[in-house]
Structure 1
Amino acid sequence: MSTALEARRARRIAAERERYRPSAEGAARLLLLIDTFSRQKSATANLEGRTKLAKLDFFLRYPERLTVALQSKGLSPEAIAVVTEEEVPIDERMVRYRYGPWDPSYYSLLGSLIGRGLVEVVKVNSRGLGYRSTANGASFVERLLEDESWDEYQARATLLRRHFDISGENLKKLVYSLFPDISGSSWGRSI
């Protein structure tokens, strides 16, 4: 194999690995989302499954899409005033996957959170798994929220828990019905 061909292959492999690398911000965002769904009155509250996690994360990362979803539920503009329209950095874009918006780094992000004892995996039913923040995870979120740059994420996560605590399958159907540009796009395309 030629040196130039080997170099191109190495760059391609490195770029692909980078897509799966967990970022500190991505891990904090997912922990915040899981913690928001874990802190309910029930001692067994959790966020059920990766599909639900991905769709909720989609709305967390794309506030303009969350606004459309909230409007579809008939909420007044005052009820959605906490959603802002900031632009998502290009390195944080999700991709179109089999079940809609997806981030290739979810596996490594969840593994990182679980491995550091911030999230635990819980059995939801005979076939499903959920995620719940541990005491250490909840404590980390409390410290995270001392930084006001996370206020908008927390406000959106709270709106998601209040209005979209539905199954991952129903969230997928909602995304597809509200956003045909996503359902009609090809797999692997950036959203």
Structure 2
Amino acid sequence: MAKLDFLVRYPLFASQVLDELDPTDPRLHREEADVRAVEAPMHRHRYGPWDERYYTVVGALLGRTLLLRGSEGRARMTLRPSAHGIEVARAAAVTPAWAAISDRCRAVAEAARGMNGNRIAGLIQGRLSLNEEHDFGDLIT
């Protein structure tokens, strides 16, 4: 989740990381401001980009049953949207306030289809200079 969120927040990086994503794809909404300004910058952590707000946001989504928690797979915890969560997301996606984010999410999801988190993390680390330019905890700019 964090890796995909990173690629949505930083559309200029998304096409560098995902081979299937054309940098001129209009769904990325790559405005000039994206070069230096991100609404909510992420921090560099050991396993890739991270936002401390995930704990609060995921907890709130679980508490409202928009997300459901599972334990299948190798991960300590898995998340999936509930039926109600899917309805809410679909309704938000067509509003003007969320349309650009929805477009980016679709573009990134299509380009990352079939990749697991480890694969995406490896691509982020291998193709971006986050390791050389940022110490742990630094904002990613």
| Same fold, judged at TM 0.5 (above) | yes
Structure 2 portions without partners, runs of 5+:
none
Larger helix percent: 1
Secondary structure in structure 2 of the residue aligned to 1:148: coil
Matched, 1:85 2:30: yes
CA spacing shift, 1:159–1:146, aligned 2, 3 Å: closer
Matched, 1:172 2:117: no
1:60-108 Cα deviation digits (max 9, x unpaired): 10111112224xx165556x23212243656611011111111011111
Quick one: distance in 1 between partners of 2:108 and 2:102?
A: 10
The two structures, once aligned, show a CA RMSD in angstroms of 2.1
Amino acid paired to 2:137: G
Amino acid paired to 1:106: Y
Aligned residues: 135
Secondary structure in structure 2 of the residue aligned to 1:82: helix
CA spacing shift, 1:152–1:175, aligned 2, 3 Å: same
CA spacing shift, 1:146–1:190, aligned 2, 3 Å: same
CA spacing shift, 1:141–1:75, aligned 2, 3 Å: closer
1:85-142 Cα deviation digits (max 9, x unpaired): 2436566110111111110111111111001110001233255432111121112112
Amino acid paired to 2:138: R
1:116 to 59, 64, 78: 64
CA spacing shift, 1:111–1:85, aligned 2, 3 Å: same
Matched, 1:65 2:49: no
Structure 1 portions without partners, runs of 5+:
1-52
Listed as ranges, the matches of 1:5-84 within 5 Å are 53-70=1-18, 73=19, 75-76=21-22, 80-84=25-29
Using the TM superposition, give the Cα deviation of residue 152 of structure 1 relative to its aligned residue in structure 2, in angstroms.
1.8
Quick one: distance in 2 between partners of 1:144 and 1:94?
A: 23
Secondary structure in structure 2 of the residue aligned to 1:132: strand
Scaled by the length of structure 1, the TM-score of the pair is 0.63
Matched, 1:188 2:115: no
8 Å contact 1:120–1:133 — kept in the other structure?
Answer: yes
